[in-house]
Amino acid sequence: MNAIAHVSPVVATSADPALPPAISLRKLNKYYGAFHALRDVDFEVANSEIVVLCGPSGSGKSSLIRCINHLEQHDSGTVHVNGMELTRKAADVARVRRQLGMVFQGFNLFPHMTVLANCTFALRLALHMTTPQAEGVAREYLAKVNVLDQAEKFPAELSGGQQQRVAIARALCLQPSVMLFDEPTSALDPESVGSVLRIMEDLAATGITMVCVTHEMGFARRVAHRCVFMEKGEIVEQAPTDQFFRKPTSSRLQRFLKQVL
Amino acid sequence: MPLMGFVQQIGTGALVTIQVAVLAYLLALLIGTLFALATLKRRLVVNIAWQTYASIFTGVPSLLVAFLFYYAGSGIISSVLSLAGLNVTIDISPFMAAVAALGMVYGAYLADLIRSAIQNVPPGQFEATKVLLIPRPAAWVLVILPQVLRLALPGMTNMWIVVLKDTALISLIGLKEIMAYAKLASGVTKEPFIYYLLASAFFLGMTALTYFVSQRIEQWTRRGYRPVAVKGPAHAL
Ligand SMILES: Nc1ncnc2c1ncn2[C@@H]1O[C@H](COP(=O)(O)OP(=O)(O)OP(=O)(O)O)[C@@H](O)[C@H]1O
Ligand SMILES: [Mg+2]
């Protein structure tokens, strides 16, 4: 049994042709001023698929992930999440974000709220649950990421790994159908990394769709269905995980893998 | 011995001082917050308005601003109102001039303080409220404001003390506050020391009270934060 039984709406399989892909980016371009950060990126993620994004620093991994939930605005191309187009309209942005959970490298927990309050905050203010309802949901997810015993503490009183697990629980509380991770373990001490990766692994087994930017190649090998390599704002190579590591075709990916493995 | 009648007057004056200072500070907070929010993003027109405002009100001494408001304020307001077709004259009392002058001068200082506090809230906090679908007003009041308060509180406390003490200058436009009565009592009794000492004691007492209260507020805003000395991968600061 998995530690996390995800209660997202009926889990679809990638084989189901009736359902639109979880994420679909077409000819996506993103500029920061004159700097061209994403160049005509086409990227698709099927329902329940686990995708790992990797590439050297500055290759545009964060930009790609942040264009999906509109933390950055794309300049051209289209973003669809579960078939809904992400436009600049506030209603569309909200509808798309409702599908997505996001975990940041720096946790971004609210420092002045307890762990429990961090998790109930959105349930109360965005989903209008009553406090007891919200606390029920929050405790359920805190238990699943093994930090229920820390519920009354403030984030700064927790280890980095515990904080990141709280952040995962906080995102899961809203029952997103897709989880986005941007280097969730890069800010952690080595002992904490494992605890977070284990939670992500459990989560992956629940059928939720996941896009993870990570340098943890062991995690990618064990968990990812597909790996994507980016460089200079472009997707250079992508392949099913096994093939990605065994038979990389581009020389740039071969060089990259040599460095990180 | 100080005469009870004069002491009572000084007490009345002290109340006026507190009223002026509190109202002026609230006005300054309002002006400061509005300018801070308006100038967060670079917008040309807003920035020109802000630069003009700031250079006038931080460049001209607050006493002079008060004099200008007191002697010219009535004329300015009625000419503005007459543009709108209204024909009314509003008398500016020393009290109103004092509140307006101190409020507008210290609003300019508070704007800088509040803006930099907002800018020092980690961007990830804003992003977290967005991905969690928190409505914007709630995000500002419940997530950003407490953190802004924590960062801005020491500066805001100092500013309050400066506003309070600046009211003493404003007696010169004829406001019947604590300095005015202390001066009156000194002149009549030829015992300046005792009455000025009383007035000083009032300001010292208010300062002490301020620090007491601000420490309480600070403890509240610092809940959840470890002492700076303790290392650890806390929330990105
Ligand atoms: N807000 C910004 N303003 C200007 N340039 C930016 C901004 N954000 C990112 N960039 C630039 O865009 C490029 C891609 O950045 P991005 O953060 O997407 O890379 P990344 O692959 O996530 O890198 P890392 O592994 O270091 O996190 C980088 O060269 C970066 O300097
Ligand atoms: Mg990045």
CATH number at residue A89: 3.40.50.300
Residue-wise pLDDT for A157-213, tens only, equals 999 999 999 999 999 999 999 999 999 999 999 889 999 999 999 999 999 999 999
Nearest CA to ligand 1 atom 25: A57
Which ligand lies nearest the alpha carbon of A59? 1
Number of folded domains in chain A?
1
pLDDT of residue B226: 64
Does residue A6 sit within a domain?
no
Given a cut of 60, whether residue A15 has pLDDT beyond it is no
Contact A173, A137 (CB under 8 A): yes
pLDDT of residue B7: 85
Mean local confidence (pLDDT), A150-156? 94
pLDDT > 70 fraction of chain A, expressed in percent and rounded: 93
pLDDT of residue B187: 87
Residue-wise pLDDT for B68-88, tens only, equals 998 888 888 888 888 888 777
A228: Cα within 13 Å, side-chain hemisphere: 23
pLDDT of residue A94: 95
Q: Which of A27-36, B93-102, B149-158, B165-174 has the lowest mean pLDDT?
A: B165-174
Q: Which pLDDT band, with edges at 50, 70 and 90, does B230 fall under?
A: very low
How many angstroms from the chain centroid is the CA of residue B166? 10
- For the purposes of burial, counting CB atoms within 10 Å of the CB of A103, is it exposed (0-12), middle (13-18) or buried (19 or more)? buried
pLDDT of residue B1: 66
pLDDT > 90 fraction of chain A, expressed in percent and rounded: 90
Does residue A5 sit within a domain?
no
Residue-wise pLDDT for A206-241, tens only, equals 999 999 999 999 999 999 999 999 999 999 999 999
- For the purposes of burial, counting CB atoms within 10 Å of the CB of A259, is it exposed (0-12), middle (13-18) or buried (19 or more)? exposed
The minimal CB distance from A126 to the residues B128, B134, B225 is found for: B134
Residue-wise pLDDT for A55-97, tens only, equals 999 999 999 999 999 999 999 999 999 999 999 999 999 999 9
3-class secondary structure, B99:
helix
Does residue A9 sit within a domain?
no
pLDDT of residue B177: 87
Å from CA of A61 to ligand 2 middle = 6
Does residue A209 sit within a domain?
yes
Å from CA of A60 to ligand 1 middle = 6
Q: Which pair of tokens denotes residue A241?
A: 């995980």
Mean local confidence (pLDDT), B34-60? 92
The full DSSP string for A87-147 is -SSHHHHHHHHHHEEEE-TT----TTS-HHHHHHHHHHHTS---HHHHHHHHHHHHHHTT-
Q: Which residue of B has its CA nearest to A179?
A: B131
Domain of residue A80: give its range.
23-260
Does residue A191 sit within a domain?
yes
Contact A187, B233 (CB under 8 A): yes
Contact B172, B63 (CB under 8 A): yes
Hey, what domains does chain B have and what are their CATH numbers?
3-67+94-221 (1.10.3720.10)
Does residue A205 sit within a domain?
yes
Find where tokens 């000492």 sit: B197
Contact flag B224-A113 (C-beta cutoff 8 Å): yes
Does residue A18 sit within a domain?
no
Given a cut of 70, whether residue A8 has pLDDT beyond it is no
Does residue A237 sit within a domain?
yes
pTM metric for this prediction: 0.85
Q: Which pLDDT band, with edges at 50, 70 and 90, does B237 fall under?
A: very low
ipTM of the complex: 0.90
Nearest-neighbour CA in chain A from B230: distance (Å)? 10
pLDDT of residue A4: 55
Nearest-neighbour CA in chain B from A201: distance (Å)? 22
Contact flag A104-B127 (C-beta cutoff 8 Å): yes
